[in-house]
A and B are shown apart, each in its own frame.
Chain A
Amino acid sequence: MATEPVIYEPGKAREAFRAVTRDVAWVAEAPKPHKAWLGALGVSMLMLAIGVYSIFVLLTTGIGVWGNSNTVGWAWDITNFVWWIGIGHAGTLISAVLYLTRQSWRVSINRAAEAMTIFAVMCAGLFPLLHTGRPWFAWWMLPHPNDMDMWPQFRSPLMWDVFAVSTYMTTSILFWYMGLVPDLATFRDRCAARGEKLKAIIYGALSLGWRGSARNWHRYERAYLILAGLATPLVFSVHSVVSFDFATSQLPGWHTTIFPPYFVAGAIFSGFAMVLTLLLPLRHLFNLKHIIKEEHIEAMCKILLATGMMVGLAYATEFFIAWYSGNLYEKFAFVNRAFGPFWWAYFAMVSCNVLIPQAFWFKMVRRNVVLIFILCIFVNIGMWFERFVIIATSLARSFLPATWSYFTPTIYDIGLFIGTLGLFGTLFLLFFRYVPVIAMSEVKGAMPEAHAGGPSKGGHH
């Protein structure tokens, strides 16, 4: 994308930059929050309260309050863990992979997508933690000298998970915060100019005294580039490691080498659907349509279409291999998936993940935000079912027919899931109101005006 040489008029470039600052800062500076925002926050906090109560019952009673059984030992807890962490991956993909591939349209959505990553990983982390039954002993998973002389078993994929997810969480937070600093400095300066001292001090402390120095920018950009380079393999490793939890087991339906790429494609797919689900209403609510443009949404729809078909290919490959391997148990596992007692989940998964996204072939659909929003909701549901189908149907019908069982969630399973949706919603809505919701400095840097005034440097980007 070559930048057009800009005709130089005094003050014109600065006017454009000011407009970006004003429009983004307005979201946080509007004296009264939007009614829809307040309503959504209320609903989210109510859901969060349901989740807190579910956790309270879980901790005071025990894992028995869930529907998990000896046969289906991993159920909604791990389903939700994989689902949430997959959602998180789109944020890293947008901020890191699209940065490395110089997709400048990412600047309008990367901040919100990264925030989504952090909140999704927070929700995800809750599940394995609570699944241990005694979360107050979770620190036993970290290697530390202890009077039992025991070390973690590092050859277990569950330990890999601990390291991968905590590294991912740390990286996501640092990457996000680093990107925030220049924009927090913008908020600091605006608050100071308006005389709001307390806010200026808070934003000032958070922005670490940033002053936009070219010498600082130089190192900042280096660090940003390298962090993006580090986050890219990291994001692929995290969901691969999550898939190892299944793939390294002996269970038919889990024990396949296709899992890492299959899980990563699914993660990107669900994550982009979640980004759109969040941003479409908020963009409308907070008048950000000229920053989060239709082209950006269309690009995301194309990614949805591509990753949706990758996921569909994975489903087909699984069936092909089940047939081609000639393995009785493998064959049974997959026939059971589609036609067994959980057939309805499989049907929901295929229609939401493979059939429905085919609508994105049409430009008419990719330009219709209402339709996109509805389709993305379906993708979110479909991806949840994918995780559920993989986990529950495989466990419910394993090698020994005597142990076969069915999984039915209890209200505490449902309550905790609703609770994480509430936690996610609450955090995201608070983020939208109090933190620079769009990476202003990056948007400004990607504008044609950023190259104004000097000797024409067209083509440099």
Chain B
Amino acid sequence: MLGDGALYGVLAEYDTPGELIEAARKVRDAGYTEFDCFSPFPVHGIDEAMGIKRTILPLLIFGGGFAGLLGGILLQWWTNAYNWPWNIAGKPEWSIPANVPIAFETTILLSVLTAFFGMWMLNKLPQVWHPFFRLERFGRVTDDAFLLGIEARDRRFDSVATTQLLKDAGAIAVENCHLDPDPASRTMPGWITAFIVSSTAFALIPFAIAAKARNSHSSEPHIHVFPDMDFQPKYKADAASDLFPDGRANRGQLAETVARGSLNADDTFYRGIEGGKWTEGFPKQLEISEQLVRRGQIRYNIYCAPCHGYDGRGSGPVPQRVAAGGGAWDARNLVQAGGPVVKMPNGQLFNTISNGYNTMMGYAHQIPPADRWAIVLYTRALQRSQNAAVDDVPQEELGRMPMPQMQTPAAPAGAGSAAPAAPTGSAPAAPATPAPAPAAGSAAQPENK
């Protein structure tokens, strides 16, 4: 089998690592360049003896690591600070300390990949064939053999002289190595090449599909590989269902039934009606107090003020925004002296809050009845305060007010003559509140700020 093809080189065996080093030095001194030593472990000192130049691998790794560092920083900056800035708890969008760990890991990762693949690349491995593998002796190099091979292509190579040189260097055996006569044995088998090429091509298909999808438009719905988050097994409002005869997922209220806690039999409290008419007073279960006025103020400021304004004059933020947009719309002025809202019975005002009026929606689903009554009470106080005269202020409070600006507090409301009429307009509040003026006044004060 051996000796069939051309001579590839000679292979000499030495007994110990030390002898291999000595032999390598002699071969190098003799001027050979195309030679190599083979050993089961890295023999220290042989690099120098053979004259191996230091590898450029560390430089490559440095480059890889630097690219990893740069790439890691760039990735984080581009995704989190530039392409889609994320506000996380008000922290700066780009702050190096939080990005150090990932930049560090990418640095290490790319250095490691460069070290691993760079080493094999520089070593020209993997290689599926080598002429020396044809020698039985070469099979022991991974066990206990220390070998030195000189290739025939070295310009100093001479079959006899080279063999003699190796023997003089202390070789225990020297043998010739011939190439396999079949050139096909010196190339990658065709099926391996085909496998590598085809699997690489297959691996690229998903990326090609993704790239195509990103650069084209489609009216088709998504492909749902895992549909569980897109299509959840549940019924939404007004959906169809086979479960019930009427085919609806919604279960309506059964006839002649009332849901627990939803009887709402008290007409005055729930609907503002007393004896078939709008109630003028307040439901008896409510205790009229400053506390309730304050509660009403809070609810009013949340639900009513956006349109009606904090002062009830109907120009809250929403109308202001309309005006800013070039339109003209005001909400109802709730406090206009002698206006419809001032004249409205308490029950009707309650009903308006509950069910809405014109374009105003009902708030029954958002504000519980007791709070709606609190808003009614506060609205009354607001009407009183917005139309108050100096006479309405108690004597002891009067001294604490900045008088020069107070000549006509009701002046902005329009007609000065309406001022005295205001208290009578909201008469229903009066019987329930023994001293409404101070209560209303103090309740209305905070919102003036």
Contact = CB atoms under 8 A, between A and B. Distances in A.
Contacts of B113: 170, 174
A255 interface: no
Contact of A17 (B50, B132, B144): B144
Nearest to B78: A151
Interface in A394-447: 440-442, 444-445
Given A163-B106, A167-B109, A226-B57, A454 B19 contact: yes
Interface in B106-122: 106, 108-109, 111-113, 115-116, 118-120, 122
Contact of A216 (B58, B91, B95, B123): B123
30 contacts: A8-B18, A15-B144, A18-B144, A134-B226, A143-B79, A154-B80, A160-B102, A167-B108, A171-B109, A178-B116, A182-B41, A189-B143, A192-B139, A208-B126, A209-B130, A211-B132, A218-B42, A218-B47, A222-B57, A223-B119, A226-B57, A226-B61, A227-B115, A227-B116, A230-B112, A241-B105, A440-B40, A441-B42, A450-B41, A455-B18
Contact of B17 (A154, A442, A452): A452
Closest 5 CB pairs of A and B: A454-B18, A453-B16, A453-B18, A151-B79, A208-B126
Which of B20, B22, B116 has the most CB atoms of chain A within a 10 A radius of its CB?
B116
- Chain B's interface: helix, strand, loop or mixed, by majority? helix
Interface in A131-161: 134, 136-137, 143, 145, 147, 149-155, 157, 159-160
Interface string A175-193: 1001000110110111011
A460 interface: yes
B112 A227 contact: yes
Contacts of B22: 454-455
A188 B18 CA distance: 26
A87 interface: no
Contacts of A164: 101, 105
B214 interface: yes
B291 interface: no
A193 B20 CA distance: 24
A134 B19 contact: no
A153 B80 CA distance: 7
A215 interface: yes
Contacts of A445: 41-42, 44
B86 interface: yes
B141 interface: yes
A221 interface: yes
A222 B52 CA distance: 13
A164 to B, nearest CB: 5
B407 interface: no
Interface in A1-50: 8, 10-11, 13-15, 17-18, 21
A223 B116 contact: yes
A209 to B, nearest CB: 4
A10 B225 CA distance: 69
A220 B119 contact: yes
B79 A152 contact: yes
A453 B15 contact: yes
B55 interface: yes
Interface in B16-71: 16-22, 24, 36-47, 50, 52, 55, 57-58, 61
Nearest to B84: A151
A346 interface: no
Contacts of A220: 42, 119, 123
Contact of A136 (B46, B101, B226): B226
B99 interface: yes
B15 A215 contact: no
Given A182-B142, A227-B115, A10 B15 contact: yes
A188 to B, nearest CB: 8
Contacts of A455: 18, 22
Contact of B112 (A21, A170, A219, A237): A170
Contacts of A150: 84
Given A14-B144, A214-B52, A170 B45 contact: no
Nearest to A157: B101
Nearest to B25: A454
Nearest to B97: A155
Interface in B135-166: 136, 138-145
A281 interface: no
Contact of A233 (B88, B108, B130): B108
B44 A460 contact: yes
Given A160-B102, A214-B47, A215-B52, A13 B133 contact: no
A230 B111 contact: yes
A450 B17 contact: yes
B354 to A, nearest CB: 35
B75 to A, nearest CB: 6
B121 to A, nearest CB: 10
B108 A234 contact: yes
Given A17-B40, A160-B101, A213-B36, 7 more contacts: A21-B144, A155-B88, A171-B109, A208-B120, A218-B42, A237-B108, A453-B14
B352 interface: no
Contacts of B138: 211
B104 interface: yes
B140 to A, nearest CB: 7
Interface of B: 14-22, 24, 36-47, 50, 52, 55, 57-58, 61, 75-76, 79-80, 83-84, 86, 88, 91, 95, 98-99, 101-102, 104-106, 108-109, 111-113, 115-116, 118-120, 122-123, 125-130, 132-133, 136, 138-145, 214, 222, 225-226, 228-229
B141 A211 contact: yes
A457 interface: yes
A451 interface: yes
Nearest to A22: B143
Contacts of B17: 13, 450-454
Contacts of B24: 214
A262 interface: no
Contact of B108 (A21, A152, A171, A219): A171
B122 A219 contact: yes
Contact of A212 (B105, B116, B142): B142
Contacts of B225: 136
A212 B125 contact: no
A192 B141 CA distance: 13
Contact of B140 (A13, A189, A221): A189
Contacts of B76: 154
A66 to B, nearest CB: 19
A213 B91 CA distance: 56
A343 to B, nearest CB: 35
A217 interface: yes
B116 A17 contact: no
A185 B125 CA distance: 13
B143 A454 contact: no
A189 B55 contact: no
A237 B125 CA distance: 32
A133 to B, nearest CB: 10
A272 interface: no
A244 interface: yes
A454 to B, nearest CB: 2
A167 B105 contact: yes
Contacts of B21: 454
A69 B125 CA distance: 53
Contact of A154 (B58, B79, B142): B79
B210 to A, nearest CB: 8
B139 to A, nearest CB: 4
A53 interface: no
A28 B58 CA distance: 36
Contacts of A192: 139
Which of B21, B24, B118, B123 has the most CB atoms of chain A within a 10 A radius of its CB?
B123
A347 interface: no
A451 B58 contact: no
B105 A219 contact: no
A134 B126 CA distance: 39
A227 B120 CA distance: 14
Nearest to A191: B139
